[in-house]
Chains A and B, each alone.
Chain A
Amino acid sequence: MTEGTLTEDQRFAAALAALGMSPARLRRLLHNLPPRVAWDALATGTHPADPEGRSRQFMRHDMVEEVATRCTEAGVNVRVLGESGYPPCLADDPEAPAVVFVRGELALLEDRPRAALVGTRSATSYGREVAFDLGRALAEAGVVVVSGLARGIDTAAHAGALDVDHGGPPAGVLGTAHDALGTPAQLALCDRIGRLGAVLSEVAPGTEAARWRFAVRNRVMAALAHVVVVVECHVRGGALHTVAAAKRRGIAVAAVPGSVRSSASAGANALLAAGERCVRHPGVVLDLLSEATTSMPGAPAEMRPKAHPKVSGPGLSSAVLDLVTSRVRQALEADPASLDTIVRRSGRSIGEVALALERLSRLGLASGDRGWWSQGHRRSVER
């Protein structure tokens, strides 16, 4: 956790990050210069990477203290590229963040296989369940599950990973500052990940959330992972940024197939059509990880992913359904439909449909969310 106070270098680096510039620019400013020197040079307008003094207008003399206080309050440590304590797994990346703000223990992530589970925020129950199962199975095998702490797939993947006692430590990569988290649910999840693993952000505490940060953050997730798995994503989903970043780095990409009628799976299915690996069960991800980590320098054998004990797909229920119930079941699709639609498709009364849905959901064949129904899977998972 936090080591009481920050060193001078850390404080000046944090203040530089708080100026709100792009990661590439921050890297140039800190390149081969100690943070303190870079700060003073910027303040006097003599920094070689900023001859016009563009950053000076954002600088205030009390900023260094202010950012340091915010870091301490948020329980956040500062790691500077090129200095000790910076995560080695990120250090070699061409686009490594110059400064990262960390909650939790970064060392836990080293020497372990790491898989990023990414996907859409507006996930279907199918996507959430698969993400949960994958997260769980990977954590059981000792894999670090990396995700972005957003609603939908991200949250479900981490919920799965946290469902295992003594599993692989989870890692979260935030697109906002540590103290700018949105929902109470996100805060609670972040706390748990911080306790068992680590949460990183390259945004300085006290900075307001900005949309572009989320896209930029995706490259950090890709850099951190040995495999990127797209669980569910729309044709133009943000998860595809992560995929592109992974490709640039030569990192393996895999995708979970979904129904061709589900718009939430369209992006993932397109990746499969383009020849990416198909994740039919957690074993596929574990295989990809062991391929990637055999070349991992100094990785001890026991850190390789353990073989997953049981590899199985969801079995179809053999329960015998009455006529109405099977009609209603046929009316369900992968994309959620309103009760109204199901009543119309099945041609049954609302009472009959309600009872059939009740039976189907108890068998796990239907899953409902605030009155919207889709084809069900074994377990329902928190959004």
Chain B
Amino acid sequence: MEGRQVQVEVHLSPGLPAFTVVGLPDASVRESRDRVRAAVLSSGLTWPTRRITVNLAPSGVRKGGSGLDLPIAVGALAVANVVSLPDLADTAFIGELGLDGSLRAVPGMVPMVGALDARRVVVPLDCLAEARLVSSGARGARSLAELLGALGGRHPWPEPHAAAKSEPRPVQPDLAEVRGQVVGRRVLEIAAAGGHHLLLVGPPGSGKTMLAIRLPGLLPPLERSEALEVTRIHSAAGVALAGGSLVDRPPFRAPHHGATEVSLIGGGSSWLRPGEISLAHGGVLFLDELGEFPGALLDALRQPLEEGVVRIRRARVVADLPARFLLVGAMNPCPCGEGSLVGACRCSDYTRARYERRLSGPLLDRFDLAVSLARPDVSQLLGGPAGESTAIVAERVRVARLEANARGVRCNSELPSISLDEVAPLSSDASALLEHRLRSGALSARGLHRVWRVARTIADLGDGGLVITEQHVAEALQLRAARDTLVPGNAR
């Protein structure tokens, strides 16, 4: 997600009054002619009644969006001698104009401002906080008139209201609110600590969503460089940044299963938009009702899951968008939802088999953790002890991640398979257990490495010893058991 600097050249020539914009403008830019003219007139300024030609350089690149309104207006006012040229030295402008001369916010401020090499950047006041994340020379204004006054030094640059600045952050749901769910809480912790993709299978009301939305709270805050990258993506997609500030908490995205491929993966015919998977970069992508997503859509996730970037190739656009996210899937055991309880399922064999086939083997293979959840029992809902809070678990996650950092990776799921022998040596019992599973065909070679990495994370969360014991491996195997029978032809 990168911005491109555009130079706006304005030329005034004798002839009948006219206003043309050249340099591959798209419809939104061509329309800006009318907005610019109206804004200038309503600000009480004169509009040059001669032939005006605006060129957007480089002329070979298509330009869109309403952010070019402001520079065009300033250019036109400069050639009309309303603004003096020395005031504009080393200054860039971004913003949409209202017909009354007001300045309106435009999406994508962070990457756009980031691409400019001017010393001073003027943006709509509503975007100032966003622009300041990447440029210390950002200035804001509410209207064209205010802008001209500040440019001419007649009054100072306005500052946004302090209230708007310190908008309270939305309260994150806490893990302490989850009653019971020993296994659910445990896989959440392991997933957060090791960056392992997680599949939750359970009937409606078993707490799948409740658990998933608490996962981002367990992840460590984003580092500065990561935060900037995430902020750039969110800004480019026009997602409102909380309080206009840097996105420093891992994002949580939960697209509905009706999502289209472009909205999920990213793309678009002429203007590139990052998809949900890029918006989830550095955080969690939660796909609820995984079985209801079209198969082709899910399989499109495979490449980004593997590489952490999504390579978008279109006739006009080529881009590699970052998409390194923690995937959490949730699904019912069968279409009626009751399949895990003996005798309660009302589905026919055929619908069950079809439901299980929805997820392709290769996609299922990417879930390191897969657990069956049951509805909590009544005694736990009412009188059960409250569980550990997010803060306590997040601290354990942080410590476990430090262990992984010492191995040169962000988290254990990124450990290369060849290094496993060295960083996660198996005890003889543990290796006997894995061998037994491999021989019985219940575990594939890829599965082996995934179990191994999860066992490493489990050990890191526990005593943190170097050697992986039989118990670590047994737990890792148990915590992926729910995927076994979902894999076609793998009924144990």
Contacts and interface: CB of A to CB of B under 8 A. Distances in A.
Interface of A: 120-122, 124, 150-151, 182-186, 234, 262-264, 335-336, 338-341, 343-344, 350-355, 357-358, 362, 368-372, 380, 382-383
B470 interface: yes
A264 B491 contact: no
B220 interface: no
Given A182-B353, A183-B350, A185-B353, 13 more contacts: A186-B349, A336-B342, A340-B180, A344-B182, A351-B458, A351-B472, A355-B471, A358-B478, A368-B492, A371-B201, A371-B371, A371-B481, A372-B340
A341 B343 contact: no
Contacts of B345: 122
Interface string B461-492: 01000000011101101110111111000011
Nearest to B183: A340
A262 B352 CA distance: 23
B472 A122 contact: no
Given A150-B349, A151-B349, A340-B180, A264 B474 contact: no
B143 to A, nearest CB: 60
Contact of B471 (A335, A338, A352, A369): A352
Contacts of A186: 349
A350 B186 CA distance: 8
A335 B344 CA distance: 12
B217 to A, nearest CB: 21
A83 B477 CA distance: 59
Interface residues of B, number: 43
A363 to B, nearest CB: 13
A372 B477 contact: no
B459 to A, nearest CB: 10
Contacts of B462: 351
B181 interface: yes
A261 B471 CA distance: 31
B485 A369 contact: yes
B372 interface: yes
A263 B342 contact: yes
Given A335-B342, A369-B485, A358 B474 contact: yes
Contact of B340 (A184, A338, A368): A338
Contacts of A362: 436
Contacts of A354: 471, 474-475, 477-479
A264 B345 CA distance: 12
Q: Which of A183, A353, A357, A380 has the most CB of B within 10 A?
A: A183
B373 interface: yes
A383 B342 contact: no
Nearest to B458: A351
Interface string B106-132: 000000000000000000000000000
A338 to B, nearest CB: 4
A368 B340 CA distance: 12
Contacts of A355: 470-471, 474-475
B145 interface: no
Given A186-B349, A355-B475, A350 B481 contact: no
The 5 A-B residue pairs with the shortest CB-CB distance, nearest first, are A182-B350, A371-B372, A354-B478, A183-B353, A371-B481
A343 B475 CA distance: 12
A99 to B, nearest CB: 25
Nearest to B483: A370
B433 interface: yes
Nearest to A185: B353
B353 A339 contact: no
A94 B370 CA distance: 53
A329 to B, nearest CB: 15
Contacts of B491: 382-383
B349 A341 contact: no
B349 A350 contact: no
B374 interface: yes
Contacts of B485: 369-370, 383
A186 B353 CA distance: 10
B343 A370 contact: no
Contacts of A380: 492
Given A370-B484, A372-B372, A357 B478 contact: yes
A137 to B, nearest CB: 23
B348 interface: yes
B184 interface: yes
Which of B333, B436, B472, B481 gathers the greatest number of chain A CB atoms within 10 Å?
B481
A335 B374 CA distance: 14
A277 to B, nearest CB: 24
- Between B201, B349, B472, B482, the greatest number of chain A beta carbons within 10 A of the residue's beta carbon is seen for B349
A234 B343 contact: yes
Contacts of B342: 122, 124, 262-264, 335-336
Contacts of B492: 368-369, 380
Contacts of A338: 183, 340, 372-374
Contacts of A150: 349
Interface string B165-207: 0000000000000001111101000000000000001000000
B481 A368 contact: yes
Contacts of B348: 182
A352 B436 CA distance: 19
Contact of A122 (B182, B184, B343, B475): B343
Nearest to B351: A182
Contacts of B371: 339, 371
25 contacts: A120-B343, A151-B349, A151-B352, A182-B353, A183-B350, A184-B353, A263-B342, A338-B183, A338-B372, A339-B481, A340-B373, A344-B180, A350-B183, A351-B471, A351-B475, A353-B478, A354-B479, A355-B470, A355-B471, A355-B475, A357-B478, A358-B470, A358-B477, A370-B333, A371-B370
A335 B433 CA distance: 27
Contacts of A344: 180, 182
Contact of A358 (B350, B433, B486): B433
Nearest to B461: A351
B349 A121 contact: yes
Contacts of B333: 370
B180 to A, nearest CB: 7
A369 B373 CA distance: 13
Contacts of B372: 338-339, 370-372
A372 B344 CA distance: 15
Interface in B347-385: 348-350, 352-353, 370-374
